[in-house]
Amino acid sequence: MEASLLNDIVIIFLLSIFVTIVCNKLKLPATVGFLLTGVLCGPSLLGIVNDHKTLDTIADVGVAMLLFTIGMELSGEALNRLKRPVFLGGSLQIGLTILAVTGFLMLSANLSWQQGVLWGCLVALSSSAIVLRIMQERGITNTPAGRLSLAILVFQDIMVAPMLLIVPMLSGALTLSLKDVAFSIARDVLVLGGVLLFARFGLDRLMNAIMRTRTREILMLSTLGMCLGMALLTKMLGLSLSLGAFLAGLMLARSQYSMSVISGILPYRDVLMSIFFISVGMLLNVQHLLQNFGFILVGTAFFILIKSLLSLPAVLVQGYPLRTAIITSLSLAQVGEFAFVLAASGLAAGLFDMLAYQNFLAVSVLTMMLTPGLMALAPRIAGRFVGKKREGAPTDQENKEESALADHLIIVGFGISGKHLARVARESGITYTILEMNPETVNRYRGKEPIMHGDASQPIILEHLGVHKARVLAIIISDPTAVRSIVIEAHGMNPNLHIIARTRFVTEVATLRRLGADEVIAEEFETSIEVFTRVLSRYLVPRQDIDAFAARIRKENYRMIRRMSASVDSLDATVSRLPDMGVQAMRVASASPLCGMSLAESDLRRKYGVTLIATLRDGVTQASPGPTFVFEQEDVAYIFGNTDKLLAIAPIFSGSVPANNKDVARRQLEPHS
C-alpha cells in the first residue's frame, strides 16, 4: 500500500470518528455521518483525498460484502418467497419508471427518447448499500417491506449490466449481432450452472473439511475467498460485483455453519461499508450545490415523490396492503450507487452535459443523506394514508413472519446437560433452539434438533437466535471465558432475558452474577451436594432430612455469594438476583395428602412458610385463590417462598413422602380442633 493512500485512509478514519460522534449527539444515523465525512474530504472542500479511484474500489468490495451477508441471512423458505417479488415486482418497478420518466422528459424538456431512456434508468436504480444497511440496523430485513425492498434491489443489480450495455447503443456507438448475444447468454448460463452444481454437490463437503480444522483463520480465508471469488466471476460476466457476492451468500446460507461464517466477516464489511459511504459523499460539489441550492432542493423533493409513486404499483400488484407498499416505495426513493457508473457512461457517450451531470450528483447524494430519516418516517407516513386502525392490526401480521421464535429457550452447548435440557423442553412443549461449536455434533443432530453452529459470544449469532424475544438463555459450556462473554453480550442485548449459566467453580458464581447472569450453577458445589446425598442415603437417613440438609447448605452458599458480591453491587441489586426467594410450580399428584383439601385446611403459610399465589386447572389460571379453594389431582400450584421452604414442601405435593411419614404429613395438614 502506497504511503499516500495509507495517509488518506488514516485521515478519513480520524475525521469520520469526530463527525459521527457529532451526528450521534444530534440523533443522526452513522450513515449520515460517513456521508458528511466524504463531503468534507472531497475535492470541493478540504481536498484531503488524492486517490479517489482506489477508495472507490475498496468501497465496491464493501457493498459486495453487504450483499453477501444479506444473502446468507435468507432461509430457503424466504428465498422461495422472493421469486415472485424479484421478477414481477422488480421488472414492473424498473419498466414503469423508465417509461414514465422517458415520456415526461420528452414532453416537458424536449429531450430525445434516447436521453429519456438513460434518465429513466438512472431514476429506476436504488441504493442496495444504504437501504439494506439501515434495514439490518433496525432489524426489519425480514418484514414484508424488507423482503420486497431486497427483491427489487436484487433485480436492479441484475439489470445494471444490460443498462450499461445499452448506453453505447443509445448513443449509436455500438451495434450487437444476434450471434454475440447468443454467445454471451450461453457463456453466462454455463458458468452459473457450474456454480450451482458446486453449491449442490461440493459446498457441504468443503465446509465440513474447513470446520473440522477448528481454525478461525482458515474459515475466514475460505469465506472471503468464496465471497470475492464469486463477485469477480459475475464481474467477468458483465454483471455487478455485489450480485456475485449475493449469490455466494445464498449458497453458504444452506450450510449449517452459516452463522459462524457471517460472524467472522462482519467487522470487515462494516469498515469497508463506511468507506463506501465516505466515497459517495466525496462526489458532492459543494460550490455547485450552493449556487443552485433552490433548484437542487426542489429537484430532490420531486425525485423522491415521483420515484415513490412509481414504485407503489410494483408492490400493490402482488397483493400487499397499501401500508407495506408505501413503506417499501419510500425505502427505495433514492439514487443507487450503480447509477453513478451509469451516469459517467452517459456523460462519456454525450447523452447529457456536465451541468446535468453535476445536478444529478447533487440530487443523488442528497437523496442518500435523506434516506435514513425517510425510512424512519415511512411507517408514520403510511399510517396517515392507511389510518391508525389498520396500521395497528394486520400491519403486523407482517411482523409475525419476521420471527417464528418468541418466548423461547436458547440452549448454548449440546453436551449431556444440553441434551437433557432439550429433551425435557421438548416434552414440556417449550420452544427451543440450540447453538453448538462442535461441527460433528451439529452434523449428527441436523434435521433432528433445531441446532446450528456458531459462537454465542458474537452479537450477530445471538440476534439470529432471537435473543431479543427469548425468555431464557441456558449456557451449558465449559469455557469460563466464553461463558463470561456470552453473559455480557446477551444481558446487554436483552436485559429482561433470564440467564442461567453453568460454571465449574463456586468462585466464578459472584463474577457471573455481576456480569448479568440471573442464576449460576457451580458444578463443584452441586457435585458436593450429590456426594453427601448418596452417602447419607446408604446410611438410611430419611429423605426429608437429606433434602433439608441440601436446602440449608444451598442457602448458606447463597449468603456467601451475597458477601462476595456486596463490595461491587448495591444490596438491592444483589438481593433481587439471588434465588433465596422465588416462585415454583408444583403439580398435585394423586398420592398427595393435599388432594380434596381446601387451602384454609392445608394452612400452608403457617406450617410451611409458603404462599399459594395462583393455580392452573384444565388450562384455566386462577390468581390468588381464596381459602375455600379445594386442591384436586393434576392441579398446578404456583408457590412463593424461601428456597429451602420450597424444597421442603415439594414431597407434600408430589406424594413422595416416605410411607411411614404419610400419616404424619396428613395429620400436619389437617385442621386442629
Q: Are 142 and 403 in contact (CB under 8 A)?
A: yes
Report the sign of the C-alpha dihedral through residues 85, 86, 87, 89, in that order.
Answer: positive
- At 434-485, the pLDDT tens digits run 998 887 788 888 888 888 888 888 887 888 888 888 999 999 887 788 888 8
Task: State yes or no: pLDDT of 399 exceeds 50.
Answer: no
Q: Cell triple for residue 191?
A: 458458468
For 94-115, how does the pLDDT look when each residue is reduced to its tens digit (9 = 90+)?
Answer: 999 999 999 999 998 888 898 8
SS (H, E, C) 267-335: HHHHHHHHHHHHHHHCCCCHHHHHHCHHHHHHHHHHHHHHHHHHHHHHHHCCCCCHHHHHHHHHHCCCC
Q: What is the pLDDT of residue 673?
A: 39
CA-only gyration radius of the chain, Å? 32
Q: Which helix (H) or strand (E) holds 584?
A: strand 581-587
Q: Are strands 519-522 and 498-503 parallel, antiparallel or unpaired?
A: parallel
> Are the beta carbons of 506 and 529 closer than 8 angstroms?
no
pLDDT of residue 74: 62
472 in Cβ contact with 497 (< 8 Å): yes
How large is the average pLDDT for residues 411-428?
88
Q: For helices 216-236 and 178-201, what crossing angle results, to 10°?
A: 160
Beta bridge partners of 637: 586, 615
pLDDT tens-digit series, residues 493-503: 888 899 999 88
The yes-or-no verdict on residue 179 having pLDDT over 80 is no
The CA-atom distances, in angstroms, between 257 and each of 204, 229, 340, 442, 616 are 10, 19, 36, 9, 42
Q: How distant, in Å, are the alpha carbons of 120, 121, 329 from that of 93?
A: 11, 11, 10
d(CA 611, CA 597): 16
Q: How far apart are CA 380 and CA 332, in angstroms?
A: 16
> 219-241: buried (b, 16+ CB within 10 Å) or exposed (e) per residue?
beebbbebbbebbebbbebebbb
Of 55, 94, 68, the closest CA to residue 242 belongs to 68
Cα 170 to Cα 168: distance, rounded to the nearest angstrom:
5
Q: Which three cell numbers stand for residue 414?
A: 449440546
Q: Is the pLDDT of residue 276 over 90?
A: no
Q: What is the pLDDT of residues 506-515, one digit of tens each?
A: 777 888 888 8
More confident residue, 402 or 162: 162
Q: What is the mean pLDDT of residues 240-246?
A: 76
CA atoms of 267 and 274, how far apart (whole Å)? 11
Mean pLDDT for the chain overall: 79
In the block, which residue shows the cell 398420592?
Answer: 591
pLDDT of residue 667: 53
Long-range contacts of the stretch 284-291 (C-beta < 8 A, 24+): 284/38, 284/39, 284/42, 284/44, 284/361, 284/362, 284/365, 285/42, 285/44, 285/358, 285/361, 285/362, 286/39, 286/42, 286/44, 286/45, 287/44, 288/44, 288/358, 288/359, 288/362, 289/362
The phi and psi torsions of 620 (rounded to 5 degrees) equal -110, 125
Q: How far is CA 202 from CA 197, 205, 251, 444, in A?
A: 8, 6, 11, 19
Q: How far apart are CA 40 and CA 15, in angstroms?
A: 9
| End-to-end CA, the chain | 94
pLDDT band, very low/low/confident/very high, at 12 (cuts 50, 70, 90): confident
What average pLDDT does this structure show over 136-142?
73
Least confident of 29-33, 119-123, 128-132, 392-396: 392-396
* Mean pLDDT computed over 167-191: 70
**Burial degree of 324 (CB within 10 A; 0-12, 13-18, 19+):** buried
pLDDT 10s digits, 608-655: 888 999 999 888 888 888 888 999 988 999 998 887 788 778 888 887
User: Which backbone phi and psi does 55 adopt, to 5 degrees?
Assistant: -65, -40
22-26, 81-85, 143-147: lowest mean pLDDT where?
A: 81-85
d(CA 239, CA 160): 7
**Each residue of 543-587: pLDDT tens digit?**
777 777 777 776 666 555 555 444 444 434 444 444 456 788 888
All three cell numbers of 283: 462526489
Q: Which domains, from first to last, does the chain contain?
A: 52-395 (1.20.1530.20), 409-575 (3.40.50.720), 580-669 (3.30.70.1450)
Q: Rounded mean pLDDT of 111-132? A: 88
Q: What is the pLDDT of residue 176?
A: 57
Stretch 515-534: mean pLDDT, rounded? 79
Burial of 243 (0-12, 13-18, 19+ CB in 10 A): buried
Q: Which candidate, 254, 212, 221, 265, places its Cα nearest to that of 438?
A: 212
Q: Is 139 left (phi over 0), alpha (psi -120 to 50) or beta?
A: left
Identity of residue 340: F
C-alpha cell at 608: 410451611
For position 665, what pLDDT does the model report?
A: 53
What are the residues whose beta carbons fall under 8 Å from the beta carbon of 231, sequence distance 6 or more? 61, 64, 68, 241, 242, 244, 245, 248
Q: Which cell numbers in the block locate residue 644?
A: 429451602
